[in-house]
Amino acid sequence: MRAPAESATRAKSPQWKVSRPVVQTDALTKTYKMGDMQVRALRGITLNIEQGEFVAVMGQSGSGKSTFMNLVGCLDKPSAGHYLLDGEDVSRLSRNDLAGVRGRQLGFVFQGFNLLPRTSALENVELPMLYQGVKGKERQRRAAKALERVGLGDRLDHTPAQLSGGQQQRVAIARALVNEPRLVLADEPTGNLDSRTSIEVMAIFQELAAQGLTVMLVTHEPDIAQHAMRVVTFRDGLVQRDERVAKPLIAREELTRIDSERPEDAPLDVSAGSAP
Ligand SMILES: Nc1ncnc2c1ncn2[C@@H]1O[C@H](COP(=O)(O)OP(=O)(O)OP(=O)(O)O)[C@@H](O)[C@H]1O
Ligand SMILES: [Mg+2]
C-alpha cells in the first residue's frame, strides 16, 4: 500500500470558511541529511492553530519541537508538506522571502532573552522596526506603547543589566509585539526564570491571547503548559496528543495568591551600598 499522494492530502483550501487558521500545516515533514544518514525529525505534522489560541507544545527531547518551531517561524524550509501562514502558502518561498515574512508577521521570544546589552529597553524594542524602515519618532512611540503593554512603561531607559530576569523577558516580548505580528513563537521562554517570574510571563501571554494574538510556546514544564488553552505533545516527529486544557491556570490569580501568602516581603533595594 502506498501513502496517500501529496495532491490527495492537499487540495481544498476552504475559502467558504469564515475564520481561517493563522497556522495550517499539512503533512509537514523535515528530514535532515547528515552524510549518508537521514534524520526524520518531523514525519508529517497536520495541525491548525486559530487566531487567539494560546498553544503549548511539549514532548521529549528530540521529538521535533524546535524543528517544528523553526518551520512555523519561517526560519527553515520543510522537506515536504505544506504550511499556510495566515492563509498564504509559505512552504516554498525562498530564504529571502521567508525573512520578509518573519519581519512582518512573526514575533520571537527566546529562553535567553537575546537583548542587546548597554542598550535601553526602548531601543531594544525599536530594533525590529529599524529593519522595517519605520521612522524615528514613530519607532519610539510604538516601542513605548509595546513596553506599556507588558507593564514596563516606567522602565524605558533601563538597560538589561538594570532589569530583573522577568522584566528582561517582558522587554523581549514587547520587542516581539512591536511589528504587530500575526503569531508569537516562544521557545522555552521561562527556562531561565524562577517560578513566580515564569507565572508573570504566562500572565502576559494570557492577556495577549485574550486580545486576539496567537501564541505558540514550547515548554518542558507541565505546569507552564497548563496556562495554555491547548497542549500539543510531540513524539518521534509526530503529534502524539492534541488536547484542550479543561481549566487553564489563570496566571493573575496565581500571582495574587502567591503575593498574599507572603505579605511581609518588601521589595529589595538592589542599588543601596553597591558603590565602593
Ligand atoms: N540541524 C540538524 N541536523 C541534523 N539533525 C537535526 C538537526 N536539528 C535537529 N536534528 C535532529 O532532529 C530531531 C528533532 O530535534 P529537535 O531539535 O526538533 O528536538 P526538540 O524536541 O526540540 O528537543 P529538545 O527538547 O531537546 O529541544 C532530533 O533527533 C535531532 O537530533
Ligand atoms: Mg528544542
Domains observed in the chain? 19-260 (3.40.50.300)
By alpha-carbon position, which residue is closest to atom 6 of ligand 1? 32
Count CB neighbours of 68 within 10 A.
28
Cell of 200: 508573570
The one-letter amino acid code at 168 reads Q
Question: 121 burial class (0-12, 13-18, 19+ CB within 10 angstroms)?
Answer: buried
Given a contact cutoff of 8 angstroms between Cβ atoms, the answer to whether 175 and 145 are in contact is no
Spell out the residues 6+ positions from residue 4 whose beta carbon is closer than 8 angstroms to its own.
none
Question: 244: part of which helix (H) or strand (E)?
Answer: strand 238-244
- Report whether 22 contacts 216 (CB < 8 A): no
pLDDT, position 267: 59
| Structure confidence at residue 262 (pLDDT) | 74
Q: Which of 38, 63, 110, 238 to mutate to test the pocket of ligand 1 (most atoms within 8 A of CB)?
A: 63
The rounded Å distance from CA 64 to ligand 2 centre is 7
Q: Which of 103, 98, 141 is nearest to 122 (CA)?
A: 141
Per-residue confidence of the chain (276 residues) as pLDDT tens digits?
A: 454 444 444 445 444 445 789 999 999 999 999 999 999 999 999 999 999 999 999 999 999 999 999 999 999 999 999 999 999 999 999 999 999 999 999 999 988 889 999 999 999 999 999 888 899 999 999 999 999 999 999 999 999 999 999 999 999 999 999 999 999 999 999 998 999 999 999 999 999 999 999 999 999 999 999 999 999 999 999 999 999 999 999 999 999 999 998 766 555 555 544 444
- What is the per-residue pLDDT for 6? 46
Query: What's the pLDDT score for residue 53?
Result: 97
The reply to whether ligand 1 has any atom less than 6 angstroms from the CB of 63 is yes
Measured from the CA of 33, which atom of ligand 1 is nearest?
A: 4
Q: What is the pTM of this model?
A: 0.86
